Amino acid sequence: MPSYKYQVKDGGGKAQTGVVSSESIEAAATMLRGQGLRVMNIQPASSGIDKDKLMSRLAELNAGKPKTKHVLDFTTQLAVMMRAGINLRSALDGIADQTEHPTFRRIVLGLKQDVESGKQFSEALQKHPKLFGSLYVNMVRASEMSGSFSDMLDRIAEYIGQQMETRRMVLGAAIYPAVIGVMAVVVTIFLLAFVLPRFYTVFEGKEEILPWATKFLMGLSEFMVVNKYYLIAGAVMIFGGLYAFAKTEIGGFFFDRLKLNFPVLKGMFKALYISRSLQTMGQLINAGVPMLDTIAITGDISGNRLYRGMWKSVYTSVKQGKKVTAPLQRTKLLPKSVVQMIAAGEDSGKLGEVLDEVSDYYHKRLREAIKTVTGMIEPIMIIVMGTVVGFIAMAIVLPIFKMSAVVG
C-alpha cells in the first residue's frame, strides 16, 4: 500500500506532519479529515533513491523552464474541458498526460494534488508565482467566487495570447536593426584589424602622399592590433557595467526614462506601456477583482518604473477614497484624451468596457508605431553601414590610385 506525506492542522490550529498509508491520495485525505484534522498538503512519500525520479529530474533540466506558451496551452485546454463538464481534477490529470514538457507536467500534477487535498485552485496556483502571476491568480480567484470559471479561463487565455503577440511584435522590430548593427560592427572590426594591416608594407615610406582618411584609419588599425586585449577587456567591462547598472533601481529608472524619451523609439514604447496597462486593468475590473488589487497588479505588469510609479500614486489616491483619474490628470505619461475617457468610464460605471476599448486602440497604435520604427531604422542602419564600409574601402583604394599616378 502506498505511503503519503501530509501536513495538517488540528482543531487548535497547530501544524502537524507525518506519513500515512492508504490506497489513494483521496482516501488518505478522507482518513485525515475523519480524524478532525484540516489537510494543508498531501503527496506521495519517497523512499530512498528513485532511479525514475532521477531520470525525470534530468529530463526537466534538459527541457529548461516552462514558458508562457505552456501556460497559454494549459489555460486553453482547461477552459475547453471545463465547458465540456469535466471536473477540475480529471481535467488537470488529462492535461498532465498530454503535456510533453516534464517540468510543466510536474507542476500540473502538483496542482492536481493540491486540489485533491482540498485547496482552492487559485491557492494552488499561488505556489508558482513566476509561472502564474498575480493577474492570473486573482482572475481565477474572482471566477471561483462568481462561478464563471470556464469563461474566465477563456478571458485569461485571450489576454496571454495578446501579450505574447505584443512581445513578438516588439522583438521582431528589434531583431533586424540589431542584426544589421552587429554586422556593421563586425565588418568594421574585421577590416580594421585584419584587412588594413596587410597594406602597411604597401603604404610604408609614402606617408606624405596618403590622404588624411588613410592615415587616420592606419593609426586606428595599429592601435586596435597593439591593444586588442585591453580593448576586449574594456568592452567586456563596459557591457558588464551597463548590465549591472541596469539591474539597480537607479539604473533601471534611467533606462526606463530613456525609452520614453529616445527619438524614433519613444512613440512605440509609450503605446506599448499604455496598451499593456489599460488592457490589464480592464481585464481585472471586468473579472470582478477589487479595485486596489487591480491597480497594484496593473503597476507591476506595466513594464516601466515610471508607469509603475504613476499607478502607485493612483493606488494611494483610491485608498484615500478619491477617484482613479485624480492623480492621472497631473501626469504626462497618459494623453489627456485617455484620462478623459477613463474619467467618463468611471463616472458612468463602465470603466472596464472603456479600458478595453482604449487598450484595443493603443494596441493598433502599437502596431503602427512598430511599422514606423522598423521602416525608419532599416534604411538608417543600411546607410550607416554602407557609409562606414565605403569610407574604409575608399581610404584603402585612393592611395593606391595616387601611387599608380605617381609611378605613371
Q: What is the CATH number of the domain that holds 30?
A: 3.10.20
Among 192, 187, 186, 182, smallest CA distance to 224 is for: 192
Compute the distance between CA of residue 373 and CA of residue 354 in angstroms, rounded to an integer.
28
If you average pLDDT over residues 183-197, what whole number do you get? 84
Compute the distance between CA of residue 22 and CA of residue 28 in angstroms, rounded to an integer.
5
pLDDT single digits (tens) 135-156:
899 889 888 877 778 888 898 9
User: Which is more confident, 364 or 61?
Assistant: 364
Provide the residue type at 148 as one letter: S
Grid cell for residue 222: 595599429
**Residue 179: which pLDDT band, with cuts at 50, 70 and 90?**
confident
Residue at 251 is within a domain? yes
**Which of 47, 63, 83 is the last residue in one of the domains?**
47
Provide the residue type at 282 as one letter: G
DSSP characters over 335-357: -HHHHHHHHHHHHHT-HHHHHHH
Tell me what the pLDDT averaged over the chain comes to.
Answer: 84
Only one residue has cell 493540491, namely: 114
Compute the distance between CA of residue 245 and CA of residue 252 in angstroms, rounded to an integer.
7
Residue at 74 is within a domain? no
Using the predicted structure, report yes or no on whether residue 204 has a pLDDT greater than 80. no
Compute the distance between CA of residue 326 and CA of residue 379 in angstroms, rounded to an integer.
43
The β-bridge partners of 367 are: none
Using the predicted structure, report yes or no on whether residue 182 has a pLDDT greater than 80. yes
pLDDT single digits (tens) 238-276:
999 999 999 999 999 999 999 999 888 888 899 999 998
pLDDT single digits (tens) 320-363:
988 888 889 888 899 999 999 999 998 888 998 999 899 989 98
Grid cell for residue 293: 488589487
pLDDT at position 58: 59
Compute the distance between CA of residue 387 and CA of residue 11 in angstroms, rounded to an integer.
79
Using the predicted structure, report yes or no on whether residue 234 has a pLDDT greater than 90. yes
pLDDT single digits (tens) 275-304:
989 989 998 898 888 899 999 999 988 889
User: Which is more confident, 39 or 50?
Assistant: 39
Using the predicted structure, report yes or no on whether residue 174 has a pLDDT greater than 90. no
Beta-carbon contacts of 110 under 8 Å, excluding residues fewer than 6 positions away, are 43, 124, 127
pLDDT at position 61: 58
Number of independent structural domains in the chain = 2
| Residue 308 belongs to domain spanning | 184-408
Residues above pLDDT 90, as percent of the chain = 22
If you average pLDDT over residues 57-69, what whole number do you get? 69
Residue at 143 is within a domain? no
**Which of 15, 31, 47 is the last residue in one of the domains?**
47
CA geometry: angle 378, 379, 382, nearest 5 deg: 90
Residue at 63 is within a domain? no
Beta-carbon contacts of 64 under 8 Å, excluding residues fewer than 6 positions away, are 103
Residue at 160 is within a domain? no
pLDDT at position 54: 53
pTM recorded for the entire structure: 0.72
Burial 373-395 (b: 16+ CB within 10 A, else e): bbeebeeebeeebeeeeeebeeb
By CB neighbour count within 10 A (0-12 exposed, 13-18 middle, 19+ buried), where does 295 fall? buried
Residue at 343 is within a domain? yes
Using the predicted structure, report yes or no on whether residue 406 has a pLDDT greater than 60. no
Q: Indicate the DSSP class of residue 227.
A: T
Compute the distance between CA of residue 307 and CA of residue 256 in angstroms, rounded to an integer.
9
Compute the distance between CA of residue 327 and CA of residue 315 in angstroms, rounded to an integer.
9
Using the predicted structure, report yes or no on whether residue 205 has a pLDDT greater than 80. no
| Interhelix angle 228-247/212-226, nearest 10 degrees | 80
Residues above pLDDT 70, as percent of the chain = 93
Helix, strand, or coil (residue 15): strand
The β-bridge partners of 7 are: 17, 41
pLDDT at position 146: 73
Alpha-carbon distances of 18 from 2, 32, 303, rounded to whole Å: 14, 11, 44
Among 168, 174, 31, 153, smallest CA distance to 83 is for: 153
Grid cell for residue 332: 504626462
For the ranges 24-38, 206-220, 302-316, the maximum mean pLDDT occurs at: 302-316
Among 130, 140, 135, 153, smallest CA distance to 76 is for: 153
Residue at 259 is within a domain? yes
Residue at 76 is within a domain? no
Please state the φ and ψ torsions of residue 344, each to the nearest 5 degrees: -65, -40
Using the predicted structure, report yes or no on whether residue 73 has a pLDDT greater than 70. yes
pLDDT single digits (tens) 88-131:
888 998 898 888 888 888 899 999 988 888 888 989 999 888 88
Please write down the HEC assignment for all residues of 32-59: HHHCCCEEEEEEECCCCCCHHHHHHHHH
pLDDT at position 405: 63
Grid cell for residue 143: 471566477
Residue 279 maps to which CATH number? 1.20.81.30
